Amino acid sequence: MSSSVSSQHDQVLVEENSFARILTLNRPKQLNALSFLMISRLLELFLAYEEDPNVKLVILKGKGRAFCAGGDVVAVVHDIWAGGWRAGANFFMKEFSLNYLMATYSKPQVSILNGIVMGGGNGVSMHGRFRVATENSVFAMPETALGLFPDVGASYFLSRLPGFFGEYVGLTGARLDGAEMLACGLATHFVPSAKLPMVEAALCDADSSDPVIISSIIDQYCEKPSLKEQTVYNRLDVIDRCFSQRTVEEILSALEREVVDQRDGWIFATIQTLKKASPTSLKISLRSIRVGRVQGVGACLAREYRMVCHVMRGEFSKDFFEGCRAILLDKDKNPKWEPSKLEHIADTTIDRYFSKVKDEDWEDLKPPTRSKFNLPPYVIAKL
């Protein structure tokens, strides 16, 4: 076995149990950040399991204190520096293809989110049929602080959260706990972490791909968690008033009016978070989530692929590279965004992020063909 194949297999552990396959993301020191090798291996395994009649469901989990903290962005940046923006495009093409396969999978995927689940980690979990949160779960899409935008199909799943909660989560990178994930629909179940081994054992004995049966098995171990007193989910009225505004500038103005009226520390912190984020990222993220409200998951991922290619080309803004420098590499946490102000970014500039890349060798995202599979109704509804 070559070293690259060995590494690929080491990064995703496979356990075959009766009718289930348990896949464990295995880069605990990197909080299971998705490498190109991991993404390729997951794609290979999910494609094989869909063809295998002996496999009824797939369980995905992470080793250590994270499910998955995101894509390995540092590696992507180094690849771009070494080989140009197409090296990064190759990573996202593969990742978004995996996201689409999971979103349209004909068998149930159960993601055990017992720890950190951020960025690309949401791409390999939120699209699956079942997402099990625990008391250790921490959700976030922190891309606007990095000069990126909520990708991996986030414009699909964030736009379908209650009210304008998705805009709030996507623009601010707010962290949610397991109870909040369950309340807003990001998680389908909440199971105390001590009961997870029992859930896995019961699922492995289930000779069924019927989502009703799978859900009822998980239900046996569920608890109804209490939302903490200061939960942001109790502020949906303020979030809806502010994050329903048409532009990022109007969202900030609405929040500033709320501060005057309420003198609320949470609102002030939200304003400061938005002001620290990349102005370009905020604008493309808001539009992406809004457009995602009326698109299927495939169209969302295809559009996000266009957007991420423009981000990596750095034609209109190099904020992605500056954000990675400030947050992940030098770690001075003091990015110098350019343009530095929302009002300096014209709508026509934002339009360009949603257009085809003007490069004769560039192609739109071509996700895996799904027509030959008998897709369940909950998958067809996403298309």
The catalytic site residues sit at 71, 120, 143, 151
Grouping H, G, I as helix, E, B as strand and the rest as coil, residue 296 is coil
Render 72-100 in DSSP notation, one character per residue: -HHHHHHHHHHH-HHHHHHHHHHHHHHHH
The candidate with the shortest Cα–Cα distance to 12, out of 33, 31, 27, 30, is: 27
What is the enclosing helix (H) or strand (E) of 68? strand 66-68
Q: Would you say 90 and 54 are in contact if contact means Cβ atoms under 8 Å apart?
A: no
DSSP code for 31: T
**What length is written for the chain?**
383
d(Cα 124, Cα 105) in Å, to the nearest integer? 12
Neighbour count for residue 362 (Cβ, 10 Å): 14
**Which are the contacts of 310, defined by CB distance < 8 A and separation ≥ 6?**
316, 352, 353, 355, 357
